[in-house]
Structure 1
Amino acid sequence: MSERDSNDALMNVQHLERFTPKENRTPEAERTYRKERMAAALRIFGKLGFAEGVSGHFTVRDPVHQDHFWVNPMGKSFRQMRVSDLIRVNHQGQVIEGHGILNGAAFTIHSKIHLARPDIVSAAHSHSLYGKTWSTLGRLLDPISQDACAFYQDHILLDTFTGVVLGSSQGEHIARALGENKAAILRNHGLLTVGFSVEETAWWYITMERCCQSQLLAEAVGEPLPIDPECAAETYLEVGTPEVGKFSFRPLYEDLLAAEPEFRK
C-alpha cells in the first residue's frame, strides 16, 4: 500500500471514530442500552439461523455491577428474545435478576472470559452451520477476502475438543487461549467472538460465520488466492477495528427496530 493510500486509510478510521463518539451515559442508562442491543443481536442471530436447539449464548457485562453479566436464558428462542427475558448472573453462577434457566456451558465459558478479559464488554458463541463446519478442519481462516482480513492475526484456534464445556478448567482453557484476540475457532465446536461493545461482538460473529462460508465455498471449487501479508495487515486496520465492528452492526439494528420494536420491552 502506498503512503497516500495509508494516509487515506488513517483518515477514514479517524472519520469513523468521530462519527461514533464515546457515549456519556449513566451506568443505569448504559445497562438499558446494552440489554437492548443484546436482545436485538439475539433476534438477528435467530433470523440468520445461528440457533441450534438450546445451544448458543450471548453475554454482556453489567455496567452497574462489574462482576455480573447478562445472558440469554436457556430454552428461549433467539427470534423471540426481549430485554425482559435476559437474566443477570454473578461469577458464582447465581441468578441475581430475571427468570429463566442458566445454561451451564454459557456460565462456564463466559464467566471465565469476563474474568480474564476485564477490558471486554460482551461475548458470543453459537453452533452456527458454517462456523462449526469450518471448525472441524482445525485451521485458522485465511485472508482470502477483504472481509476475512478483519480477523488477520486477530483470532485463534483452540485445537482440542473435550466434550460439552461444563467444567471450570475447560472455561479457563478457552479464556487463556483467546488471549487478547477478538475471536476463536473452537475445534469441532464452533465460533466465539468478543468485543468492547455488544454491537462489535455481534458483528464479528456474523461476519466470521460468513467468512467461514466463503472459504468453504472457495475451497470446494479450487484453491483460493490469499491476500499478501502486508496488504492483509493494512486492510485489517480498515475493517477490523472496534469502531468498524460497532458501526457495521448499525444497519442490522435499525432494520430490526423498525420491524420488531417489541424486543425492547
Structure 2
Amino acid sequence: MMNDVDPQILARYAPRPGRHALLPSLTPQQQVALLCRVLHREGYNDHIAGHITLRQEDGTYLANPWELTWAEVKGSDILRLDAQGKIIEGEWNITPAINLHIDVHSARHDVSVVIHNHSEWGSVWSAVGRVPPIYDQTSALVDTDPVCYDEYRGTVEDSELGRAAADALGEHKWALLANHGVLVVANGIRQAHLRAITLEWRCRMAWRVNLLGGGVPLPAAVAQATGQRTDASGFPFLWEAMARDEIRRDPSVLE
C-alpha cells in the first residue's frame, strides 16, 4: 500500500520500530471497496450513482457495481471488466456510463484510477460552472485548478457525450462537469483518494466562505507550492488513516 509514495518521504516519516502495520495486506478489490466507502463519507454520496475504476496490469478494470451504494460495497462485490467495459467477473451490473471511464483510461495511459460521481459539494460548483477558490491549506493539497466542462447536453451514458467529457478533461487531474458532477483521475489509489477528498473539501470550504461574504484566497504561489509537495507522492499516511477508520467502522468491507 505504500509503494506509490516517494521513498524519501517514507524514510523521513516511517513508523517507529515495533509499531503495527499501517494497514493489513489488501487485494485490489478491497482497495476499491475501501475507496468507495471512504469517499462516500466525504460527500460522494449520490445514492447509487458513480463508479470508481482501477486499471489492472492485464488490461482489465475493477469497478464498483451499479446496484450498491458506495457506503455498502464490499471487496467481493467489485466487478472485473474487459477492455471494452464488459463484465467478465462478478455478480452485479455496471451502468452504461462506464464508457466515460473506459474513454478516459484509453486516452490517458498515465491514469490507473478514474472516479466519477455527483459529489455533494462538487456538484454545487459544477451547477454554477465555476471553479472554487482556495481559501485554506487543505484545499491546496493538489496543485492545479480543475477544468470546468460547461457544455452539458445529457448523461455520460451516451457514448458521444462521454467521449466529449473525456476529451474536455485532457491532461488535467480533475474536472467539474457542468450541471452534472465531478471527474477525478490519478495514478493510484492513494493519489485518487487525495485528489477526490481535496476537491470536495475545497468546494465545501469555498461555499461556506462565500456564504459569509467572501474571503481572501491563498496566494497562488503558496497554493501551488503546497500542492506540489503533496499531490505527486500523496499526503503521508492519510489514505491509511482513513482506510483504517473505515475498517474499524465496518470490517465487512474486506469480505
Q: Is the structural similarity TM-score above 0.5?
A: yes
Taking the aligned partners of 2:177 and 2:81, their CA distance within structure 1 comes to: 24
- What's the CA shift for 1:18? 4.1
Q: Deviations over 1:216-260 (max 9, x none)?
A: 010111122122222222222223x23125742121011122332
Taking the aligned partners of 1:198 and 1:20, their CA distance within structure 2 comes to: 20
Asked if 1 retains the 8 angstrom alpha-carbon contact of 2:9 and 2:236, the reply is no
Q: Deviations over 1:110-160 (max 9, x none)?
A: 001111111111111211211111111211232322222234434211111
Alpha carbons of structure 1 residues 185 and 230: separation in structure 2 relative to 1, 3 Å: same
User: So what's the TM-score if we normalise by structure 1?
Assistant: 0.82
Query: Which one has a larger percent helix, Structure 1 or Structure 2?
Result: 1
Q: What is aligned with 1:228?
A: 219
1:76 counterpart = 2:68: yes
1:167 counterpart = 2:161: no
Alpha carbons of structure 1 residues 88 and 17: separation in structure 2 relative to 1, 3 Å: same
Alpha carbons of structure 1 residues 200 and 187: separation in structure 2 relative to 1, 3 Å: same
Q: Unpaired segments of 5 or more residues in structure 1?
A: 1-12, 22-31
- Look up the equivalent residue of 1:76 and give its one-letter code: L
Q: What is aligned with 1:98?
A: 90
Q: Name the Cα RMSD after superposition.
A: 2.3
Asked if 1 retains the 8 angstrom alpha-carbon contact of 2:143 and 2:225, the reply is no
Residue 244 of structure 1: which of 213, 234, 249 is its match?
A: 234
Taking the aligned partners of 1:189 and 1:235, their CA distance within structure 2 comes to: 29
Asked if 2 retains the 8 angstrom alpha-carbon contact of 1:185 and 1:191, the reply is yes
- Look up the equivalent residue of 2:177 and give its one-letter code: L
Alpha carbons of structure 1 residues 78 and 230: separation in structure 2 relative to 1, 3 Å: closer
Q: What is aligned with 1:29?
A: none
Asked if 2 retains the 8 angstrom alpha-carbon contact of 1:54 and 1:75, the reply is yes
Taking the aligned partners of 2:235 and 2:127, their CA distance within structure 1 comes to: 26
The number of aligned residues is 240
Percent of aligned pairs with the same residue? Answer: 26
Asked if 1 retains the 8 angstrom alpha-carbon contact of 2:133 and 2:202, the reply is no
After superposition, where does 1:39-78 map in structure 2 within 5 Å?
39-63=33-57, 65-66=58-59, 68-78=60-70
Q: What is aligned with 2:187?
A: 196
User: So what's the TM-score if we normalise by structure 2?
Assistant: 0.85
Taking the aligned partners of 2:129 and 2:37, their CA distance within structure 1 comes to: 29
